[in-house]
Amino acid sequence: MSLPVPGDPGSAVKRVGASAATITGMSEAPPRQFVLGVDLDGVCADYYPFMRRVVAEWLGQDVESLPLDVGWEMAEWGVGPGEFHKLHRFAVVDRNLFRDMGMVPGAGPALRRLSNRGLRIRIITHRLIIEHFHRIAVSQTVEWLDFHGIPYWDLCFMGEKGAVNADLYIDDSPGNIAALLGDSRDVIVFSHSANRHLDLPATQRAGDWEEAERLIVERFEAWRRRLDGGEDAELSRSERQPI
Ligand SMILES: [Mg+2]
């Protein structure tokens, strides 16, 4: 599957330049910040190992019998069509999925370093996919973020990620990635077996948080150089800090 590449003149989609900071001050223009839109499941939260154990329990199978590589629908684990929502509700409500799953190695330290550089971390997650379980889903999410020391100033529960207008996104969902690129957004794909089929340049794919942090810093520094050459000639340290 070939996807349009933002900034690539040969791309099917022309990059129209997504403006980013939407932070609204009370009485004056807010300082400009680079907004990093961060997905949780499969990027920061280690979703698949936890779900592999839950699925094994749900189906009454040995966890080791379930393959490590799995697609988006988890069909390789024997999850049948129409069963995902029941399984997901069980995982969240009865096994505290959003509170107890582990952290993807390096995610917390990398996000803390990025926040210290002045990036504004905007968590964007589509976790409210089942009706009538939002209180537990949101409360577990906040507890998890605090427990792992994830720095963030915005927490968005929504599927239409382009609508929150980040300068750069990091995500692992093939659907989200296609939607963001189709909307001329810049996105780094956090690699997983479910998205390996996507044909993307190396600058848009990270295999771990070390690579992701390097790519994010490159984008941030390029953004700062553009600002330095434009109307926002000077970004003071205080302006680069989250407000
Ligand atoms: Mg995800």
**76 domain residue, yes or no:** no
**39 domain residue, yes or no:** yes
Ligand 1 centre from 31 Cα, in Å? 29
Q: Are 154 and 37 spatial neighbours (Cβ–Cβ below 8 Å)?
A: no
pLDDT band (50, 70, 90) for residue 82: confident
* Burial class (CB within 10 angstroms; exposed 0-12, middle 13-18, buried 19+) of 129: middle
167 is catalytic: no
**163 domain residue, yes or no:** yes
Ligand 1 centre from 25 Cα, in Å? 30
Q: Are 39 and 170 spatial neighbours (Cβ–Cβ below 8 Å)?
A: yes
CATH of the domain at 207: 3.40.50.1000
What pLDDT score does 242 carry? 38
Ligand 1 centre from 27 Cα, in Å? 36
Ligand 1 centre from 23 Cα, in Å? 24
Identify the active-site residue in 8, 39, 62, 232: 39
Asked which of 15-29, 58-72, 75-89, 152-166 is least confident by mean pLDDT, the reply is 15-29
pLDDT surpasses 90 at 151: yes
Stretch 24-51: mean pLDDT? 86
Expressed as residue numbers, the domain containing 122 is 35-46+102-236
Identify the active-site residue in 41, 167, 172, 186: 41
**219 domain residue, yes or no:** yes
What pLDDT score does 112 carry? 98
Ligand 1 centre from 47 Cα, in Å? 8
**212 domain residue, yes or no:** yes
Query: Please, what is the Cα angle at 110 between 135 and 112, to 5 degrees?
Result: 65
**107 domain residue, yes or no:** yes
Instruction: Estimate to the nearest angstrom the gap between the alpha carbon of 26 and the chain centroid.
Output: 29
In this predicted model, what pLDDT tens digit does every residue of 228-243 receive, in sequence order? 887 544 443 334 433 3
In this predicted model, what pLDDT tens digit does every residue of 172-227 receive, in sequence order? 999 999 999 999 999 999 998 889 899 999 999 999 999 999 999 999 999 999 98
Ligand 1 centre from 29 Cα, in Å? 33
41 is catalytic: yes
Tokens read off for 229: 């050459």
Ligand 1 centre from 120 Cα, in Å? 19
What pLDDT score does 130 carry? 83
Instruction: Classify residue 181 as left (phi > 0), alpha (psi -120 to 50) or beta.
Output: alpha
Q: Which residues surround ligand 1, an ion (CB under 5 A)?
A: 39, 41-42, 172-173
The whole-angstrom separation of Cα 142 and Cα 51 is: 19
**189 domain residue, yes or no:** yes
Domains in the chain, number: 1
